[in-house]
Structure 1
Amino acid sequence: MGPDAVLVPQPSAEDFPDFVSIPGRIARHARDFPERRAVVCGDTSRTWREFDRRVGRVARALAAMGLGRGDKIAILAANSGEYLETFMGALRAGACVVPLSTMAAADALEKMLDDCDARVLFLSDRYRGLVEPWEDRLSKLIPGGRIAYDFERPGWRAFEGWLALADDAPFERPLDRLDDFNIIYSSGTTGLPKGILHSHAMRDLLAVRFAAFDYGPDTVSLASTPLYSNTTLVSVLATLGGGGTTILMPRFDVVRFLEIAERERVTHAMLVPVQYQRILAHPDFARYDLGAFKAKLSTSAPLRAHIKADCLARWPGRLIEIYGLTEGGASCTLEANLHPDKLHTVGKPGLGSEIVVLDEAGRVLPQGEVGELAGRAQIMMKGYHGQDGKTRELFWHDAEGRLFFRSGDMGRIDEDGFVVLLDRKKDMIISGGFNVYAADLEVLLLEHPDVIDAAVIGIPSDEWGETPLGLCVLRPGAATTAEELRDWANGRLGKTQRLAAVEIRDSLPRSTIGKIMKRELREPYWAGRTARI
């Protein structure tokens, strides 16, 4: 899908007179401060000179294979320096990168690779088992297009050997602001997930605007979520764009995170809510010196108000919550330090975004009323790759004809202009004709001293259609029963909100970026019934 084919209007050259691609910024940093650290992962550290050189070699190696503007390369691997070199090198070659989720099922991964027309696949040994069931059907990969980071197998080329065939001569290929940057597949669990297509302009603009969060050449950013996630990429690209140091964790571990943060004098981290919860709950948290932090960011799911308050009290530096879609459009930021009375919100529209609240008929609701959030911004995705119909389903136009993206999230805008986020529209529980927002019930359950994690889902009810069920994880040693917890909650809830039951769970299923997988929780209760799962 080229610039002339996109459904979503894109900015003109006049809107970005100072556009510089992320690969172009990397080359600039290599010239300006060649010996500063660019990327660190485990025992491997690359200066900007070294990183830029290896990025150039990846670009040259891909170009030698015939790849150029708009061609797709896919990566299925854990975080590593080589992963980031591949990503940036492919961009420099003009290619579009498809970072694949390591949590996806094997059949879903096959569909993604076929859908995006990837010509080269980079793979690590840890995820070979996801590829082997359909490896023989990868007909769109070019000869030599199977590259192994850390294993040897017939038909696969070793990454370092492949890279050694390219020389260190500088590689330059003009990149247009609307060229394809990446395709990120949504986390759909049935059918083909939607491939969200971003442009170079969108990515570079994010890097520029994150300077407001103190990203710059002195940044030391610790990335502990997977590189296939937009959550991770936003922070990593801001660090690369600003000339800071990116420290990659192949896998998140609380103690390891705290050790690295103290030793490396980490200034920035983009974390998801469950990570904040686990880090702050660690008994040795106070022993670590985190005084170098300038800003901690949170995204991917709502960060509970009590966790924000705890973070403000005990963790130095700014706390910034970002609400937004991978598709772009609706976006909010909450400077928690500046607005301690608004911790129950996700802040005000930010990063050039405008937000409205819509009713079921698509009419704009007045301030304070609950509806679906829709937003627009200077930069939004180019569309869902190859799915024009799905792209159009997002569209809403205001009276002036301006395009907004429907978010699928329910919420309201309070009297001060702060957005209160409720549930995903598809997760809203309709009980006896009343809308019940699981988020409200979850906040209440988490106020109980014995509850450390909670989710509320709608389950079938012959009387009400569906009814709320609370699923709770208790603190170690807690003696509260499910019935006591239900009665405690229902004594504080309105009649239409009351829980039919509470179940105690050892844990709640979460994705690698911390989102509770409510579809998985609902499925056993709705099996065999006609309902959205």
Structure 2
Amino acid sequence: MTENVHDILARMADQPFVDFPALIARHARERPEAPAFLCEDEALGWAGLARQMDRVAGACRACGLAPGDKLALLAAPSIHAVEAFFGTVRAGCCIVPLATSATAEALLGMLRDSDAKVLAVDAAARETLRPVETALFEAFSGRLVALDFSALGWIEWDAWLAQGQVPAAVDHRPGQPFNLIYSSGTTGKPKGILHDHGMRARQAMRRNFGLGPGSVMLLSTPLYSNTTLQPMLATVAGGGLTVLMRKFDAAGYLRLCAAHKATHTMLVPVQYQRLLAHEDFPRTDLSSFVLKQCTGAPLDARLKAQILAQWPGGLREIYGMTEGGVSCVLDAHEFPHKLGTVGRPAPNHDMRIIDDDGRVLPQGEVGEIIGWSPYMMAGYYKQPAATEAFYWRDETGVAFHRSGDIGRFDEDGFLVLLDRKKDLIISGGFNIYATDLESATAAHPDVADVAVIGIPSEQWGETPLALVVLKPGSALAAEALRQWVNARVGRTQRLAAVEYRQELPRSALGKLLKRELREPYWK
């Protein structure tokens, strides 16, 4: 079912370390004109990426950045953003990709927390930052870089690059900071998740994605998300082409699939839903696909089956966290009878189930999912207490990551994901898993989207409420839907009520914001 942490360490002890600037330089020598990145009408070959990476590194040094210092990047995917990303790493600095979906005040808080010394921004993100621009001028005087616009107080991209000279090669080491990613903040204040070079190299050099020089990875999620960074870095390591979308739309995505004969992709569940429902999907040639991946939120079993039936190539669901350590993989095309699970522990993972007292539970019992792997964060930035609280330690002192999720391993070692620990509804002493009720409600043909939350109840303490978005044209009454669902679930699971919504709040990556949904009821 799972591997032992000590066996994994022994097997990987002699694995060589290769840094990304060295990999890119090698691709540039061997295949200088081969395409590395494509975004809209702009293309960047390996030689061009290596050259621009060197220029950005020189500009970083001219700005006073030393190895280990941080450059923050706030931009939609673009060629300049990619150059800034890898050039920062080439300089030995740490890249801090920030969420373009965040508010100006939240971004200012992340910038202050990160200790970034340079901020690179595109035109759309600059508009987001306008309410705090005065504070930025004070904090980043002479170190605000405009990727694609001109404005007073900002250094234009070409002028910034012209400031520096190509620095000598940096001796990148496994323990040096690579990137700092801020959590979504869906469960509270965002935390900085620090990844080092060793973790990113080990992660990207895995060969179980089938990536190579002939691969075409199509990505349509933001640069600040690990959903994008992990497959992007793996494609760079394999020497393939990464096609970036500045913003996802189903029609545009399908056009890019056909035009570039995409072989790989990473999408979140809501994107799969929109693509399969789009009128262009049946007539788009998708025969080039080798592997499609999904992460970010659980993929409904019915949607998995639909993808397998209608979209050529394999389908891999990845359950995991940006912090790393906890990861399962379901190759749905190989295990179509396991679509109700999120797969087995990924290679090089030691995963376990523990109870509320931290005791490891036997296979089949329900508890919190924890895990260890060589692909784990260095810690929460400047938050040692939060980092330690995130750990569960075994009898030898090895730190496992707590997922905050509840689940169990079935008889074949596949993980059945039940709920977020914080989303568990305890009604009248019974545990109710919101995911069970959401799955039952989503099975109704008139339901487009659903979230189940616990709301206060004088009789039961709390009780389940379904918040539902109906499909266009439906006249289904809320009480009729409640009765339909309750006829299909256990007596202790029944919905207390159903309320309709025009839409449900989601993050930029399609994750349900249940904290926002619960708040009005518990105030």
The alignment's TM-score, normalised by the length of structure 1, stands at: 0.94
Conservation of the 8 A alpha-carbon contact between 2:465 and 2:498 = yes
Aligned in 2, Cα 1:414/1:46: closer, same or farther, shift over 3 Å?
A: same
Q: Which residue of 1 aligns with 2:282?
A: 286
| Paired residue total | 516
1:74 Cα deviation (Å)?
A: 0.4
1:83 Cα deviation (Å)?
A: 0.7
1:240 Cα deviation (Å)?
A: 1.1
Aligned equivalents of 1:327 and 1:400: distance in 2?
A: 22
Q: Bigger shift: 71-80 or 124-133?
A: 124-133
Matched, 1:77 2:75: yes
Three-state SS of the structure 1 residue aligned to 2:377 is coil
Q: Which residue of 2 aligns with 1:5?
A: none
Q: Which residue of 1 aligns with 2:511?
A: 515
> Where does the alignment leave 5 or more consecutive residues of structure 2 unmatched?
1-8
Match of 2:134 among 136, 146, 160: 136
Q: Which residue of 2 aligns with 1:318?
A: 314
Aligned in 2, Cα 1:360/1:308: closer, same or farther, shift over 3 Å?
A: same
Matched, 1:341 2:337: yes
1:140 Cα deviation (Å)?
A: 8.1
Aligned equivalents of 1:111 and 1:83: distance in 2?
A: 22
RMSD of aligned alpha carbons: 1.8
Conservation of the 8 A alpha-carbon contact between 2:61 and 2:164 = no
% identical equivalent positions:
54
Matched, 1:253 2:261: no
1:158 Cα deviation (Å)?
A: 0.7
Matched, 1:196 2:185: no
Aligned equivalents of 1:485 and 1:117: distance in 2?
A: 51
Q: Which residue of 1 aligns with 2:20?
A: 22
Match of 2:293 among 288, 292, 297: 297
Aligned equivalents of 2:43 and 2:521: distance in 1?
A: 49
Matched, 1:228 2:224: yes
Letter paired with 2:377: M
Three-state SS of the structure 1 residue aligned to 2:106 is helix
Matched, 1:185 2:187: no
1:477 Cα deviation (Å)?
A: 1.8
Match of 1:207 among 200, 204, 208: 204
Three-state SS of the structure 1 residue aligned to 2:102 is coil
Q: Which residue of 1 aligns with 2:482?
A: 486
Aligned in 2, Cα 1:311/1:468: closer, same or farther, shift over 3 Å?
A: same
Letter paired with 2:424: M
Letter paired with 1:76: L
Aligned equivalents of 1:59 and 1:131: distance in 2?
A: 25
Three-state SS of the structure 2 residue aligned to 1:332 is strand
Match of 1:97 among 95, 98, 103: 95
Q: Which residue of 2 aligns with 1:110?
A: 108
Letter paired with 2:85: F
Aligned equivalents of 2:46 and 2:272: distance in 1?
A: 31
Matches within 5 A, 1:258-277: 258-277=254-273
Letter paired with 1:199: D
1:143 Cα deviation (Å)?
A: 4.1
The alignment's TM-score, normalised by the length of structure 2, stands at: 0.95
Matches within 5 A, 1:163-174: 163-166=161-164, 171-174=168-171
Three-state SS of the structure 2 residue aligned to 1:198 is strand
Q: Which residue of 2 aligns with 1:32?
A: 30
Letter paired with 2:375: I
Aligned equivalents of 2:430 and 2:35: distance in 1?
A: 56
Aligned equivalents of 1:143 and 1:503: distance in 2?
A: 51
Aligned equivalents of 1:203 and 1:361: distance in 2?
A: 33
Matches within 5 A, 1:412-423: 412-423=408-419
Q: Which residue of 2 aligns with 1:127?
A: 125
Q: Which residue of 2 aligns with 1:7?
A: none
1:106 Cα deviation (Å)?
A: 2.0
1:161 Cα deviation (Å)?
A: 2.0
Q: Bigger shift: 25-34 or 103-112?
A: 103-112
Conservation of the 8 A alpha-carbon contact between 1:76 and 1:100 = yes
> Where does the alignment leave 5 or more consecutive residues of structure 1 unmatched?
1-10, 528-533
Aligned equivalents of 1:505 and 1:380: distance in 2?
A: 38
1:314 Cα deviation (Å)?
A: 0.8
Aligned equivalents of 1:319 and 1:191: distance in 2?
A: 32
Conservation of the 8 A alpha-carbon contact between 2:449 and 2:469 = yes
